[in-house]
């Protein structure tokens, strides 16, 4: 059996430490594994579909695109594992506490700060939430985008932090941030606790997912998933890797948490139905 | 019924998680905690906070309900204590790393890469008492010495003082570096030895300061540094074994040095020279006490170690066979310093005093070697092989 090859996006230098650690840990259990790092998700998804990598550690948006590309090509991609921390996130539309705004519709004619163009959590999903409240981004509300780390699908926190700062500094009337980052920004003081309130929040959605592509040997991909699911937080060798990757345990992959993002992608025309990348400025 | 915690108006962005954590600590994995509170973002915060910590949160009821995950318990599942707080272990586990003695150590992390992790290779029962004494006896060079009291000495007596101080400084450099190296390779489980060596290093740093200051009190530059003296001190730095380094430096070298410092105090031509040598002698006596107690401890555990001590003395003697030993400038200066003047009768007194000093040093070394476990004849033989450079 050849080594299973994983693709991952290097959104931070720690990604090298993480996957080298996983390679060592998996190797110690007799599982041959290697990885390649990408500077962005689009090429990773294309390589997954082309069989150049067996599995891809996909952002939710990368999962949506991979699924569309696979369906169009008549091949299969499978969600084999995800982190416990990938399930049931929400994004909040936050306003300043003293703002005279009580519902999303009150944002009409105002400015909403979002993250990077390709951030599912800080841009695509919350803008879809506004659409469902009858506000078309770009015409009914002005969108102030913060394109930090475009290509990384919002993995870089910078876009969200800049959106929060824009709200704080009066450059925007609302900001879109995930629940975890809203808590973080309060704790680190980027947003003074009590200075903001939540105007609306998305329904729960899922985040990253480990996807097996059409080129993966099925038994090998299953063994890989089985080993991941067996990683214990009690294992002192595995624990630092889990901490770095931000989970306490791996769970089976599920695909039920991406419907809202599929809709948001369609509404915004981010990808076409076949997973093709639409025009637009997405330079890193 | 789930346990309940009430955060009142407190948010998780201003410390509320501490109350939640405290309440969860009393539950087993799977246990349920109801979180009440009026912070408008309580549910949102709890969702994010619990997700990151492996807890589940249910938002259906009138207040969020946390179902405790297993991560906290799993994290500490393989933890063990770094020995007992009140007892020095025979062997310090490198996996304890830098943890306090007796601390609960999470499994994992890099092991500590130190050479000295066996109690009997570094220990002496007197170490805790010596450390306490060292900590209580630290002194401030700025105030412990009356630097204005030096007065003016005849030029050549001042020159002799400057030369002796120059020699003392280079000896103190060696006496600082050797314990610093021992310290860097010692498992911190042997806390009292580590602290004692640290105090020893600080002592030597102070000695370097006061001897330098005395040397430059009336002169622009210190005296000379002989090649033979430096060669002798270099052999101390070359010794990598903890006990052999302690033996050569403290038992033999610093032991002789204490006699020298007392001699300088006794014959000092000015109060500053007397004060700095007296203060240094007190510190050095502690260093000698540990060296002797530690070496004796090792020999009690392993009497065959005496032959390694003997070999170390012989090896150092061999290495120094072709060097001149104490340089003439230092040796002459000691005579002049003890004489206090160039009157022939005074020089004779100085000469006799230095001769007595050498004999006191020899007696001291023999006494300490005998205490460690050498028969008297062997102690005399080894003392005679000690470097002529004193340290």
Nearest to A183 among B45, B107, B108 (CB): B45
pLDDT band of A280, cuts 50, 70, 90: low
In a domain, B391, yes or no: no
Size of interface A-B (CB pairs under 8 A): 75
pLDDT > 70 in chain A, percent? 98
pLDDT digits (tens, 9 = 90+) for A93-145: 999 999 999 999 999 999 999 999 999 999 999 999 999 999 999 999 999 99
pLDDT score of B263 more than 90 = yes
Rounding to the nearest 10 degrees, give the CA dihedral for residues B373, B376, B380, B386: 0
DSSP string for A6-34? EEEE-SSTHHHHHHHHHHHHHHTTT--EE
Nearest to B108 among A179, A197, A237 (CB): A237
Q: Which of B57, B74, B79, B105 to mutate to test the interface with A (most CBs of A within 10 A)?
A: B74
Q: Are residues A134 and A232 in the same domain?
A: no
Q: Cβ–Cβ of B48/A179 closer than 8 Å?
A: yes
Nearest to A233 among B40, B45, B75 (CB): B75
Nearest CA in chain A to B48: A180
Q: Cβ–Cβ of A186/B11 closer than 8 Å?
A: yes
In a domain, B257, yes or no: yes
Q: Are residues A105 and A188 in the same domain?
A: yes
In a domain, B101, yes or no: yes
Better pLDDT: A1 or A170: A170
Q: Cβ–Cβ of A187/B75 closer than 8 Å?
A: no
pLDDT > 90 in chain B, percent? 90
Q: Are residues A238 and A192 in the same domain?
A: no
What's B30's domain CATH number?
Answer: 3.30.110.40
| Structure token pair of residue A115 | 């993250």
Compute the nearest-CA separation of A192 from chain B (Å): 9
Over residues A44-48, mean pLDDT: 98
In a domain, B143, yes or no: yes
> How much is the mean pLDDT over chain A?
96
Q: Cβ–Cβ of B44/A197 closer than 8 Å?
A: no
Of B63, B97, B113, the last residue of a domain is B113
Q: Are residues A227 and A240 in the same domain?
A: yes
Residues of chain A contacting B70 with CB distance shorter than 8 Å: 233, 248
Q: Are residues B56 and B94 in the same domain?
A: no
In a domain, A34, yes or no: yes
In a domain, B390, yes or no: no
In a domain, A282, yes or no: no
Q: Report how many domains make up chain A.
A: 2
pLDDT score of A13 more than 80 = yes
pLDDT digits (tens, 9 = 90+) for A230-267: 999 999 999 999 999 999 999 999 999 999 999 999 99
Q: Are residues B310 and B166 in the same domain?
A: yes
pLDDT score of B174 more than 90 = yes
In a domain, B389, yes or no: no
B142 touches chain A (CB under 8 A): no
Helix pair B271-301, B127-136: axis angle to 10 deg? 170
Q: Cβ–Cβ of A179/B45 closer than 8 Å?
A: yes
In a domain, B376, yes or no: yes
In a domain, A273, yes or no: no
Q: Are residues A195 and A228 in the same domain?
A: no
pLDDT digits (tens, 9 = 90+) for A175-228: 999 999 999 999 999 999 999 999 999 999 999 999 999 999 999 999 999 999
Q: Are residues B202 and B62 in the same domain?
A: no
The whole-number pLDDT of residue A281 equals 57
Q: Are residues B82 and B69 in the same domain?
A: no
Q: Are residues B232 and B196 in the same domain?
A: yes
Cα separations (Å) of B203 from A124, B41, B145, B184, B200? 66, 57, 15, 17, 5
B13 touches chain A (CB under 8 A): yes
Q: Are residues A82 and A211 in the same domain?
A: yes
The model carries a pTM of 0.85
Q: Cβ–Cβ of A179/B47 closer than 8 Å?
A: yes
Q: Are residues B180 and B230 in the same domain?
A: yes
Compute the nearest-CA separation of A233 from chain B (Å): 6
| Structure token pair of residue B338 | 């003890």
In a domain, A281, yes or no: no
Residues of chain A contacting B14 with CB distance shorter than 8 Å: 186, 193
Residues of chain B contacting A198 with CB distance shorter than 8 Å: 40-41, 44
Q: Are residues A159 and A98 in the same domain?
A: yes
Which distant-in-sequence residues (6+ apart) come within 8 Å of A176 by Cβ? A91, A92, A93, A94, A112, A113, A114, A115, A122, A123, A126, A127, A160, A163
Place of tokens 């919350």: A126
Over residues B219-240, mean pLDDT: 92
Q: Are residues A52 and A98 in the same domain?
A: no
What's A169's domain CATH number?
Answer: 3.40.190.10
Separation between Cα atoms, residue B141 and residue B57, nearest integer Å: 62
| Structure token pair of residue B289 | 């006490």
Q: Which domain holds residue B45?
A: 3-73
Q: Could you tell me how far CA A164 lies from the centroid of its own chain?
A: 18
pLDDT > 90 in chain A, percent? 96
Separation between Cα atoms, residue A277 and residue B321, nearest integer Å: 83
Q: Are residues A9 and A68 in the same domain?
A: yes
B106 touches chain A (CB under 8 A): yes
Q: Are residues B62 and B128 in the same domain?
A: no
Q: Are residues B40 and B66 in the same domain?
A: yes
Using the Cα atoms of residue B229, residue B230, residue B231 and residue B237 in order, give the sign of their dihedral: positive
Compute the nearest-CA separation of A71 from chain B (Å): 32
Q: Are residues B158 and B251 in the same domain?
A: yes
Q: Cβ–Cβ of A239/B75 closer than 8 Å?
A: yes
- Give contacts of A 198-257 with B, CB under 8 A: 198, 201, 232-234, 236-237, 239-240, 246, 248-249
A192 touches chain B (CB under 8 A): no
Q: Cβ–Cβ of B108/A197 closer than 8 Å?
A: no
Separation between Cα atoms, residue A76 and residue A57, nearest integer Å: 16
Query: Please, what is the Cα angle at B154 between B151 and B156, to 5 degrees?
Result: 130
In a domain, A169, yes or no: yes
What's B356's domain CATH number?
Answer: 1.10.620.20
Q: Which domain holds residue A252?
A: 4-86+206-268
Compute the nearest-CA separation of A152 from chain B (Å): 21
Q: Are residues A161 and A182 in the same domain?
A: yes
The whole-number pLDDT of residue A136 equals 97
In a domain, A244, yes or no: yes
Smallest CA-to-CA distance from A68 within A58, A56, A76, A59 is with A76
Residues of chain A contacting B45 with CB distance shorter than 8 Å: 179, 182-183
Q: Are residues A132 and A57 in the same domain?
A: no
Compute the nearest-CA separation of A237 from chain B (Å): 6
Q: Are residues B125 and B271 in the same domain?
A: yes
Using the Cα atoms of residue A165, residue A170, residue A176 and residue A180 in order, give the sign of their dihedral: positive
Q: Are residues B82 and B181 in the same domain?
A: no
Q: Are residues A156 and A101 in the same domain?
A: yes
Separation between Cα atoms, residue A163 and residue A174, nearest integer Å: 9
Nearest to B11 among A88, A193, A201 (CB): A193
In a domain, A275, yes or no: no
Residues of chain A contacting B64 with CB distance shorter than 8 Å: none
Are the beta carbons of A79 and A87 closer than 8 angstroms?
A: no
> How much is the mean pLDDT over chain B?
95
Q: Are residues B59 and B92 in the same domain?
A: no
pLDDT score of A1 more than 80 = no
Which distant-in-sequence residues (6+ apart) come within 8 Å of A65 by Cβ? A41, A42, A45, A271, A275, A277
Q: Report how many domains make up chain B.
A: 3
Residues of chain A contacting B11 with CB distance shorter than 8 Å: 186, 193-194
């Amino acid at each position: 059996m050849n080594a299973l090859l994983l693709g991952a996006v290097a959104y931070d230098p720690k990604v090298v430490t993480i996957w080298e650690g996983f390679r060592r840990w998996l190797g110690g259990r007799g599982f041959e594994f290697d990885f390649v790092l990408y500077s962005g998700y689009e090429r990773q998804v294309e390589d997954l579909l082309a069989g150049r990598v067996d599995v891809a550690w996909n952002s939710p948006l990368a999962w949506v695109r991979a699924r569309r590309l696979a369906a169009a090509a008549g091949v299969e991609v499978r969600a084999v594992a995800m982190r416990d921390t990938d399930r049931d996130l929400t994004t909040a539309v936050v306003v300043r506490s003293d703002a005279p705004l009580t519902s999303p519709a009150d944002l009409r004619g105002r400015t909403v700060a979002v993250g990077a163009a390709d951030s599912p959590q800080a841009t695509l999903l919350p803008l879809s939430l506004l659409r469902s409240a009858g506000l078309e981004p770009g015409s009914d509300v002005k969108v102030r985008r913060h394109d930090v780390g475009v290509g990384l699908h919002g993995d870089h926190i910078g876009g969200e932090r800049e959106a929060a700062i824009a709200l704080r500094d009066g450059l925007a009337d609302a900001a879109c941030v995930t629940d975890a980052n809203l808590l973080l920004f309060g704790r680190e003081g980027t947003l003074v606790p009590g200075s903001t309130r939540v105007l609306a929040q998305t329904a729960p959605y899922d985040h990253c997912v480990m996807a097996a592509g059409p080129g993966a040997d099925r038994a090998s991909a299953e063994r890989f998933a089985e080993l991941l699911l067996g990683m214990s937080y009690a294992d002192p060798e595995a624990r630092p890797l889990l901490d770095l990757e931000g989970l306490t345990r791996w769970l089976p992959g599920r695909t039920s948490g991406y419907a809202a993002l599929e809709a948001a992608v369609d509404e915004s025309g981010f990808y076409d139905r076949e997973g093709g990348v639409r025009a637009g400025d997405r330079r890193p | 019924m789930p346990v309940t915690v009430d955060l009142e108006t407190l948010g998780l962005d201003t410390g509320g998680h501490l109350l939640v954590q405290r309440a969860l600590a009393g539950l087993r994995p799977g246990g349920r905690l109801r979180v009440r509170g009026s912070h408008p973002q309580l549910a949102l915060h709890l969702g994010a906070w619990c997700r990151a910590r492996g807890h589940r949160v249910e938002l259906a009821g009138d207040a969020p309900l946390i179902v405790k995950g297993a991560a906290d318990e799993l994290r500490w599942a393989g933890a063990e204590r770094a020995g007992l707080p009140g007892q020095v272990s025979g062997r310090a586990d490198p996996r304890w790393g830098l943890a306090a003695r007796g601390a609960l150590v999470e499994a994992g992390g890099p092991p500590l890469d130190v050479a000295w992790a066996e109690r009997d290779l570094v220990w002496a029962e007197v170490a805790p008492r010596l450390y306490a004494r060292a900590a209580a006896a630290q002194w401030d060079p700025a105030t412990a010495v009356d630097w204005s009291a030096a007065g003016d000495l005849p030029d050549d007596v001042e020159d002799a003082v400057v030369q002796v101080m120059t020699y003392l400084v280079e000896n103190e450099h060696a006496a600082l570096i050797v314990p610093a190296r021992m310290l860097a390779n010692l498992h911190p489980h042997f806390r009292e030895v580590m602290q004692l060596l640290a105090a020893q290093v600080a002592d030597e740093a102070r000695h370097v300061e006061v001897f330098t200051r005395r040397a430059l009190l009336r002169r622009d530059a210190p005296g000379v540094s002989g090649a033979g003296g430096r060669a002798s001190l270099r052999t101390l730095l070359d010794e990598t074994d903890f006990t052999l380094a302690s033996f050569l430096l403290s038992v033999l070298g610093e032991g002789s040095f204490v006699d020298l410092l007392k001699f300088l105090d006794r014959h000092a031509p000015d109060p500053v020279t007397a004060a700095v040598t007296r203060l240094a002698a007190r510190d050095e006596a502690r260093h000698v006490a540990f060296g002797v107690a530690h070496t004796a401890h090792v020999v009690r555990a392993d009497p065959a170690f005496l032959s390694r001590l003997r070999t170390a003395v012989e090896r150092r003697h061999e290495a120094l066979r072709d060097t001149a030993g104490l340089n003439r400038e230092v040796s002459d200066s000691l005579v002049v310093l003890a004489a206090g003047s160039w009157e022939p009768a005074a020089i004779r007194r100085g000469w006799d005093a230095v001769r007595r000093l050498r004999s006191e040093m020899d007696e001291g070394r023999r006494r300490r070697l005998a205490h460690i476990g050498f028969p008297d004849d062997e102690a005399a033989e080894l003392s005679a092989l000690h470097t002529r450079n004193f340290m």
